[in-house]
């Protein structure tokens, strides 16, 4: 819902009715997904099968190249003696277990899509029911929290889709230019691995370099240099521009969030750790939670004054109206305030001085 809402809101601003805009957005997403699956899945499956069939020959050629240098000769012996007997004995059970897991993930994914569709269609009534459960003195803060959560989650999902697609496209073009076979399957693997923080960079680069090494040493060196350069370009330039201010987390918070998320929920926890950490920090800021040892600053007093003004305006405008309309008023006030704050930050390098 957070991912697709901005597109629906853009259509609404261009005088498209909300329900028709939701239909257009979901129809466009569905058509794009079907086209991507139809055009890529058969080729990916064929290339993956080709990679598996060519694995013994590829391993032998790689071992011969490693044996030419005394430093890498031990790795060559290890590759030649590598056995897949134990893996082959359990492959059928493992494949069955993964097939059930894939079916479960697909079922949860479809449920999430239809739930998001329902929530977007019935947004006003659901939002009104939520606001009816909360005292009116907290409606402004609740609306601001909802807007910020939607921004964080939506920016994270859209950013992941964009960065993964760019990684896959770059890897595919690079491998094709270097004459590496099965470039599409390797590019898809690199784009999926790019989701993982930190370790995703290694998982994206290593298979591509190994595949290029089976072609030639020069190709492997070119792929290694270009992939590392792209990873640096992505982390330094692309990620800050795509995610914007929504996931500006200190490095220590990022590391701690990944550690906690990976320990509690494994791979899924590591993927969701960053938006959860950003949401927690946003809640601490929005709810004005006083941290131990922290002293109230002049900026905090200004924010409290803005909160008071917004709550007074909301009480005045929402007196005697239904919960759905009151929720819409609260969201409108919070949205206007956020837009004004953005305008001041963009137009004044020191917005605090302007407020004083």
**Whole-number Å distance between alpha carbons of 279 and 7:** 22
CB contact set of 32 (below 8 Å; sequence gap of 6+): none
Enumerate residues 6+ apart whose C-beta is below 8 A from 200: 193, 194
Query: CB-based burial of residue 35 (10 Å sphere; 0-12 exposed, 13-18 middle, 19+ buried)?
Result: exposed
**Helix/strand/coil (H, E, C) string of the chain?**
CCCCHHHHHHHHHCCCCHHHHHHHHHHHHHHHHHHHHHHHHHHHHHHHHHHHHCHHHHHHHHHHHHHCCCCCHHHHHHHHCCCCHHHHHCHHHHHHHHHHHHHHHHHHHHHHHHHHHHHHHCHHHHHHHHHHCCCHHHHHHHHHHHHHHHHHHHHHHHHHHHHHHHHHHHHHHHHHHCCCCCHHHHHHHHHHHCCCCCHHHHHHHHHHHHHHHCCCHHHHHHHHHHHHHHHHHHHHHHHHHHHCCCCCCCHHHHHHHHHHHHHHHHHHHHHHHHHHHHHHHHHHHHCCCCCCCCCCCHHHHHHHHHHHHHHHHHHHHHCCCCHHHHHHHHHHHHHHHHHHHHHHHHHCCCHHHHHC
Whole-number pLDDT of residue 342:
67
pLDDT at 350: 44
User: What whole-number distance in Å separates Cα of residue 45 and Cα of residue 167?
Assistant: 20
Location of structure tokens 């595919």: 172
What pLDDT was estimated at residue 242? 74
CA–CA gap between residue 131 and residue 139 (Å, rounded): 7
d(CA 319, CA 329): 11
Rounded alpha-carbon distances, angstroms, from residue 186 to 189, 207, 233: 5, 7, 20
Interatomic CA distance for residues 43 and 48, integer angstroms: 8
What pLDDT is stored for residue 229 in this prediction? 92
One digit per residue, pLDDT tens: the chain, 356 residues? 888 888 888 898 888 898 899 999 999 988 988 888 787 778 777 777 777 777 677 777 777 777 777 766 777 777 777 665 544 455 555 556 666 777 887 788 888 888 888 888 888 888 888 888 888 888 888 888 888 888 888 888 888 888 889 999 999 999 989 888 878 888 888 888 888 777 777 888 888 888 887 777 788 899 999 999 998 888 788 877 776 666 667 767 777 887 888 778 777 777 788 888 888 888 877 776 555 656 666 666 677 777 778 888 888 888 888 888 888 888 888 888 877 766 665 554 444 333 32
């Amino acid at each position: 819902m957070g991912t697709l809402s901005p597109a629906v809101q853009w259509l609404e601003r261009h005088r498209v009715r909300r329900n028709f805009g939701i239909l257009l957005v979901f129809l466009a997403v569905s058509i794009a997904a079907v086209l991507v699956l139809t055009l890529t899945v058969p080729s990916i499956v064929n290339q993956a099968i080709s990679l598996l069939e060519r694995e013994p020959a590829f391993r032998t050629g790689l071992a011969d190249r490693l044996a030419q240098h005394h430093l890498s000769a031990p790795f060559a012996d290890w590759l030649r003696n590598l056995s897949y007997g134990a893996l082959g004995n359990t492959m059928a059970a493992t494949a069955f277990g993964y097939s059930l897991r894939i079916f479960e993930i697909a079922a949860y994914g479809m449920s999430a899509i239809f739930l998001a569709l329902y929530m977007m269609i019935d947004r006003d009534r659901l939002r009104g029911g939520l606001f009816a459960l909360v005292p009116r003195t907290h409606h402004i803060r609740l609306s601001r929290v909802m807007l910020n959560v939607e921004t964080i989650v939506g920016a994270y999902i859209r950013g992941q889709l964009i960065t993964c697609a760019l990684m896959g496209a770059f890897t595919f073009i690079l491998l094709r230019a270097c004459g590496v076979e099965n470039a599409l399957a390797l590019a898809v693997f690199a784009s999926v691995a790019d989701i993982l923080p930190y370790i995703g960079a290694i998982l994206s680069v290593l298979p591509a370099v190994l595949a290029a090494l089976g072609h030639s040493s020069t190709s492997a060196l070119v792929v290694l240099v270009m992939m590392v350069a792209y990873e640096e370009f992505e982390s330094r330039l692309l990620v800050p521009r795509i995610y914007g201010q929504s996931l500006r987390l200190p490095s220590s918070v990022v590391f701690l969030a990944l550690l906690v998320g990976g320990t509690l929920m494994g791979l899924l926890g590591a993927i969701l750790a960053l938006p959860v950490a950003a949401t927690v920090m946003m809640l601490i800021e929005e709810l004005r939670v006083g941290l131990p040892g922290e002293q109230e600053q002049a900026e905090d007093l200004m924010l409290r004054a803005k909160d008071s003004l917004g709550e007074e305006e909301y009480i005045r405008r929402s007196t005697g109206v239904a919960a759905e309309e009151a929720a819409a008023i609260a969201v409108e006030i919070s949205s206007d305030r956020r837009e004004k704050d953005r305008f001041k930050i963009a137009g004044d390098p020191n917005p605090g001085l302007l407020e004083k």
